Structure 1
Amino acid sequence: MAEEKLLTVNVVTPDGSVYDEKTPMAVFKTTVGELGILPEHIPLLASLEIDEVRVKVPGTEDKFDEIAVNGGFVEFSNNIATVVANSAERKENIDLARAERARKRAQERLEKARQEQNIDKQRRAEISLRRALNRLNISKH
């Protein structure tokens, strides 16, 4: 049986490395759509949405590691996919109660900004809400 080809996925934030594993496939949600990367993919650079990065666990049919990423970008070259994000959390490290509190605060800020008709505050609250919902969705998979 041929050995499975693998690529490396690194997820880093200003606080350090969040994820560093080898995989046969990784899936990223970019600003222009979903992108799957296999070993020996052509080099690329893409902006990421607030969403999850899914990394296939080697030797399994359908098991994936899931990482909540709050934007950033992915760069792929030399069989290494490096995600640089302001913040990221592995599924198993997400504090569900904290994420729920963040969602509630963001919804309250969004409602207040809408009442004040403050577009800047509204945009920031919407981003905070998307981040909280992303963490909640991933933690519940």
Structure 2
Amino acid sequence: MSVLKLKLDQEQLVEDFFEDTWLAGIMSPARDYQLCWQINQQLGYDLRVNNLLEIKLTKNRRSFYFTVFEYLEPTKSAAHYLYNNHCKAEFLLPELKHVDYIWLIKGNYYQAADVKNLVEQCRKAGLVQLVTLLDMKDIKNKINLIF
């Protein structure tokens, strides 16, 4: 009897997950919950930690857990995810070691001008040092962002 093996098409998975998304990198010395509180105050959001979305990476037989905060905009069919980019000297996206947090905006509501406005508003939060839009082509480890 032959065994049928199914292989997950990771390229298609990444393409589907990142359809209608925007990515921004945030630099901040603050703890994740402090940063989220300030972003919530500045943008009127309700970012909250979602333990079900926590990302686990295993390297050299050690496990690293990266928290993910989530806010679903009820009237805009958009979701906001704030990923912690580092955990115990490991990085979720090693190619972005200078970035402390990754902000993913998912949904087709936001256009380029809207995202630029959100980034500008986020920059005004007291604990935010820098916010920059990221080019998806520059990110090699996109699969790490998929929950």
Q: Same fold (TM over 0.5)?
A: no
Q: TM-score, normalised by structure 1?
A: 0.31
Which structure shows the bigger proportion of residues in strand conformation?
Answer: 1
Q: Which is bigger in relative contact order (C-alpha 8 A, separation at least 6)?
A: 2
